[in-house]
Amino acid sequence: MNAQIVGEDEKGVGLLVEDNRGDEHEIGLDSEGNIFHHKEDVIPDTPSDRSNIEDETFSQARRYARYHVYREKGYDTVPPSENPDRLAAVLIALLDLTDKQFWEYFQTLHEQSVSHDRTDALPPLDLPDEVYEEEFLIYKQNVYLEDDLDTIQSQLDRPATEVIGEIEREELATATGQGMLSKATSLVGGTSETSDVTWTELTIEGVSGIDTMYYEDTNEERTIESQDQFDRKPDARIEILPSTYECDDFRYVVGHNLVCQIRDCYIGMGLEPPEPYKVLGHGRYKYTGKYRHFDFYEPYFDHEARISGYVSPV
């Protein structure tokens, strides 16, 4: 993917984006990321007339256009869930929590996720019995930072796409907090030993309750929503599958999910992630579905997959 800003006026920013097939897209978007113009001569205009790869290429170009304008202009054009910088900021704030603070936010999520297969764990959520019988189920919890985008941007020394990472990516597979910290630190510049960043400048304001998403026998997606005290988009949404992880390991599980979501952001823009984020495992459900059903994507969600350049977390 390549992009060039060709103009800007009161309506928004105009770009030329070259996709991974070498085709050019004319894209116009405003300062909030709303796309008001998208022209491409090869891909059909009507979504129903496109193949899966055509439709995904079309979407990749739009995601990359938003990201390019965000990086070049500083506008808030990327949805939080698609912005690797926001996810990295949440990861840094999460790693700076004490154990007590972490469990205040995520104990219920841990207890619910392990209640499926452990007889010593009672589920804290009051869910219908039939939900536990579904083959696919995922728990989601929103995380909100006290910091706005300007604060997050002020702490980024260089674009994440330019970060190679001084720490070998295999450290991420060791399930240690320090390895996770090294990866988060690489997004804000330097290393965990040399960076001048004060981690407490990025602070978690709070979390939502836990949403439960599952599929019924009809293959329809269902979500049992929980309460959320915040009236804005979250900076990140943790997505956890049922597991048997002990308390000491669950902090890594949450952090690893965010790292995989960062990976998904880049792949969703048609980019290869920076090397430290070429890690296998579940990130966002949205992308796990793409990796499962589109043969032009590798199965990045599968920690047992053999994908050149990617490492397993176990």
Domain boundaries defined on the chain: 2-73, 80-293
φ, ψ of residue 123 to 5 degrees: the values are: -70, 125
Predicted local distance difference test score (pLDDT) of residue 63: 98
Q: What b/e sequence results for 162-183 when a residue is b if at least 16 CB atoms lie within 10 Å of its CB, and e otherwise?
A: ebebebebebbbebeeebbbbb
Q: Strands 35-39, 24-29: parallel, antiparallel or unpaired by DSSP?
A: antiparallel
d(CA 84, CA 133): 34
- pLDDT tens string, the chain, 314 residues long: the values are 999 999 999 999 999 999 999 999 999 999 999 999 999 999 999 999 999 999 999 999 999 999 999 999 999 999 999 999 889 888 878 877 888 999 999 999 999 999 887 777 788 998 888 888 777 899 999 999 987 877 777 665 554 334 323 434 444 444 344 555 555 555 444 344 444 444 446 789 999 999 999 887 667 788 999 999 999 999 999 999 998 888 878 888 898 899 899 999 999 999 999 887 899 999 999 999 999 999 999 999 999 999 999 988 75
pTM: 0.87
- Vertex 166 angle, CA 276 and 81, to 5°: 35
Q: What does the block give as tokens for 37? A: 């113009």
Tokens 């965010």, residue? 258
Contact residues for 120 (Cβ-Cβ < 8 A; gap 6+): none
